[in-house]
Amino acid sequence: MSGQSLTLSQHAGTIVEDWAGDKETFHVPWGKVMMWIFLVSDTFIFSCFLVGYMKVRRTTTEPWPYPSEVFALELFGVNIPLILIAIMTFILITSSGTMALAVRAAQHNDKKNVFILMAITAAFGASFVGMQAFEWSKLIAEGVRPWGNPWGAPQFGSVFFMVTGFHGLHVSCGVIYLLVIATKILKGHYDKKGDYSIVEITGLYWHFVDLVWVFIFAFFYLW
């Protein structure tokens, strides 16, 4: 049955069964349910930011700066639009892939590879934050402030700092979270119970951070 999803009629049967009985509703480790509850509420926070961004962008009568040009970078004498953001996107996707492999390694109780893959994921995350810091300082040097910028609508700056800042905070926390769990795995903290579902739970958080970036990339940088 591994690697298969249920058909729709089977799904209809399980949902009635799970909610109707006088028993546990979710057949997953409690930590996983807790993480999902946190992620769903975090979804609402990020959605509020993005909807707020949509509103100010829709209502401002001042021109919106071209994000493609704002985030252009001169590499080897050529001006490439949005290149830094593209690199950051690829880094985050790569880190999501290594995290997925770490979760798989945990299912095989392969502690060494779990540690290595989680450490690599954290390293990618840290480099993402580093690039974001570079981007922030570059824009601040060019005069972008939460209350104004040289190219148009002042809301551009406030949205940029708030949305990317909040996302960057999530990535930074994720890096710390990954390193803590990876170290605990290596030290054998979970060996007694033999339950490595914590890796999957950490993975959920990390994939969520990548997921949020997908929306920020589309709506803020590409729109």
Residues 1-40 binding another protein (CB under 8 A) are 1-6, 11-12, 14-15, 18-19, 23-30, 32-33, 36, 39-40
Contact range with another protein by CB under 8 A, out of 116-124, 126-134, 143-151, 169-177:
143-151
Strand, helix or coil for residue 73: strand
List the interface residues with another protein, window 43-82 (CB under 8 A).
43-44, 47, 51, 54-55, 58-66, 68-70, 72, 74, 81-82
- Cβ-proximal residues to 56 (8 Å cutoff; 6+ apart), any chain: 153, 155, 158, 159
Number of H helices, E strands in the chain: 7, 2
Contact range with another protein by CB under 8 A, out of 126-134, 159-167, 170-178, 206-214:
206-214
Q: How far is the CB of 59 from another protein (least distance, A)?
A: 4
Pair 82, 67: CB distance under 8 Å: yes
Q: Would you count residue 107 as binding another protein (CB under 8 A)?
A: yes
Query: For another protein, which is the closer residue by CB, 36 or 161?
Result: 36
Q: Would you count residue 89 as binding another protein (CB under 8 A)?
A: yes
Q: Would you count residue 192 as binding another protein (CB under 8 A)?
A: no
Distance CA 163, CA 103 (A): 29
Kindly provide the b/e burial profile for residues 175-204, where b requires at least 16 CB atoms within 10 angstroms of the residue's own CB: bebbbebbeebeeeebeeeeebbbbbbbbb
Q: Would you count residue 194 as binding another protein (CB under 8 A)?
A: no
Q: Would you count residue 195 as binding another protein (CB under 8 A)?
A: yes
Q: Would you count residue 99 as binding another protein (CB under 8 A)?
A: yes
- Identify any residues that bridge with 78 across adjacent strands, giving them in sequence order: 75
- Cβ-proximal residues to 72 (8 Å cutoff; 6+ apart), any chain: 79, 80, 81, 82, 83
Q: How far is the CB of 13 from another protein (least distance, A)?
A: 9
Instruction: Tell which one of 163, 177, 185, 200 touches another protein (CB under 8 A).
Output: 200
Q: How far is the CB of 54 from another protein (least distance, A)?
A: 6
Q: Would you count residue 131 as binding another protein (CB under 8 A)?
A: no
- Identify the helix (H) or strand (E) that includes residue 74: strand 73-75
Total of residues contacting another protein (CB under 8 A): 87
Q: Would you count residue 133 as binding another protein (CB under 8 A)?
A: no
Pair 94, 151: CB distance under 8 Å: no
Report the first-to-last Cα separation within the chain, whole angstroms: 42
Q: How far is the CB of 127 from another protein (least distance, A)?
A: 17
